[in-house]
Amino acid sequence: MTLPTIAVYNPTGARKTLWRIAQVGGLIATVVLLLGLMAQPDATLNVLWNVVVPVLPAVFLVNPLLWRNACPLATLNKLTGDRAGTRRLPAQGATWAGALGILLLYVMVPARRVLFNVDGTVLAVTIVAVALLAIVGGVFYSAKAGFCNAICPVLPVERLYGQHPLGDVSNARCYPCSICVGRGCVDLSPTKSIAQTFGQARRSRRWLLTPFGVFAASFPGFVLGYFTTVDGPLSTAGAVYLHIFLWAASSYVVVAALSLLRPGRNQELVTLVAAVAVGSYYWFVSPTVVEAVGLPAGSVTLLRVAALALIAVWLVRGMSDVLGNQRHQDAVAA
Ligand code: SF4
């Protein structure tokens, strides 16, 4: 059976070659990372968590496709997903798979404090397990529906920070788009992904009860909770999870209260929570980045100012898009 497809911009020539190089480079970098975690765990963990990972939120603000086009896990997912025929993930399945991805994120990030920040072997085994998950997901669902658009734990962050991309980047993996997922594909449209993920709930306060709504409202507190804990032995895991959970729950309550005070302003709130979360992240991570790169201590302020300036530009652009949409909807309703 031939299913409908959506034609998307097909990069050609040098652009296509560059994305191919980036995708192969991503796979090679992953192998180097795994070897480094086994042979030189301390240095590799330092570079990974304090240099490489802090670049990603800023990349998502510019455009999440900059990462998604090159992500090594997406490359592995597509390797098998492109051979999975027409097995699409329906909208309801995407919602629940997305909820599982959020759960994975909320389990794995606190685990950094007691495992992944300090134990290279455990992190290497986890990366291999997640890579296998991406490959196996592609056996069951076509294109990126078995992992990247489903249970990937980074997807909710890409969706949240990528909702108002500052630059245009075309999808370098799917041409044509086979509509592998029922709704909310970030690669197809980062700006529509959240609204599609909420579905009808976006028109009322019910967005707060959807899996992505729970994530978005709790995420600023989750980030603050993570950075107000410290690395420790496995025996401190319970305290770390409880601490981060309480911060995330408090954040949810505050955002829910704001939603009650400002009914019909869901898009504004979701834009604002993204800015608060990513701003908090860069505020706290800047000192460790500066230390890891070996810059003078005064560079912390510079890095914070640079990050906050990028976020301010993103916020102004995002709010102007949201208010423009709002005016359009009001005019249509009038
Ligand atoms: S990942 Fe997105 S763009 Fe690619 S085939 Fe699936 S729905 Fe289409």
Tens digits of residue pLDDT in 283-327: 999 999 999 999 998 899 999 999 999 999 999 999 999 998 888
Residue type (1 letter), 251 = S
CA 145 to ligand 1: nearest atom = 6
Cβ 180 under 6 angstroms from ligand 1: yes
The residue whose CB lies within 8 Å of the most ligand 1 atoms, and thus the one to mutate among 83, 171, 192, is 171
**Atom 7 of ligand 1 has which residue's CA nearest to it?**
179
Domain regions of the chain by residue span: 13-333
Cβ 178 under 6 angstroms from ligand 1: yes
At 288, give phi and psi (nearest 5°): -70, -35
Alpha helices in 83-199 (DSSP H): 91-111, 120-140, 155-161, 190-198
Tens digits of residue pLDDT in 7-41: 555 666 778 889 999 999 999 999 999 999 999 99
Q: What is the pLDDT of residue 5?
A: 60
Q: What is the pLDDT of residue 6?
A: 61
**Atom 6 of ligand 1 has which residue's CA nearest to it?**
180
Going from the first residue of the chain to its last (334 residues), give the mean pLDDT of each consecutive group of 10, the final group possibly shorter: 56 81 97 98 98 98 97 96 86 93 98 97 98 96 95 98 95 88 93 94 92 98 98 97 98 96 89 98 98 93 98 97 84 72
Q: How far apart are CA 255 and CA 165, in angstroms?
A: 23
Cβ 150 under 6 angstroms from ligand 1: no
216 alpha carbon – ligand 1 mean position (Å): 23
Q: What is the pLDDT of residue 77?
A: 97
